[in-house]
Amino acid sequence: MSGRDLKTYSDAEIEQRLKEELPHWYYENGWIRRKYKTAGWKATLMVVNTVGHLAETAWHHPDLTVSYAFVIVKLVTHAAKGVTDRDFLLAKKIEEVLGWDAATESAGIFEGTPDDPRFKYIKHDK
């Protein structure tokens, strides 16, 4: 199925889906977006590489704004000229992978990133 064959969502539909499914994402200028705060450059590069891997695997390519302590991910289906299910599905997968907190979700098997500035990674939303 080409991107042109996908349903694009109206602004109101996008806002509603984000509210229900992706509360940390927002809609602006035709894109769904999310700002991930990191602990510094090393963590920023890890986020960029993770998003890049997920996007490439899905053959869907976001725009990224990359800075020292944050990454902004922007999704739209270019071929459809709008936001489609592809964007929502990739956003959910990015949330799932970047949002995984080993210390709280692994029944004690993993320790998670130490609470030490040298090892900080992504700043999880509470």
Domains annotated for the chain, with CATH where assigned, are 3-102 (3.30.1360.20)
Strand positions, DSSP E, 12-124: 26-28, 31-37, 63-67, 70-75
Residues 52-58 have a mean pLDDT of: 96
The structure's pTM equals 0.89
For residue 114, what pLDDT band results from cuts at 50, 70 and 90? confident
At residue 85, the pLDDT reads: 97
For residue 126, what pLDDT band results from cuts at 50, 70 and 90? low
Rounded Cα–Cα distance for residues 25 and 18 (Å)? 6
At 56, the amino acid letter reads E
Look at residues 3, 105, 92 and name the one whose alpha carbon lies nearest to residue 54: 92
Can you tell me whether residue 3 is helix, strand or coil? helix
At residue 1, the pLDDT reads: 53
Sign of CA pseudo-dihedral 6, 59, 61, 71: positive
At residue 89, the pLDDT reads: 98
Residues 38-63 have a mean pLDDT of: 95
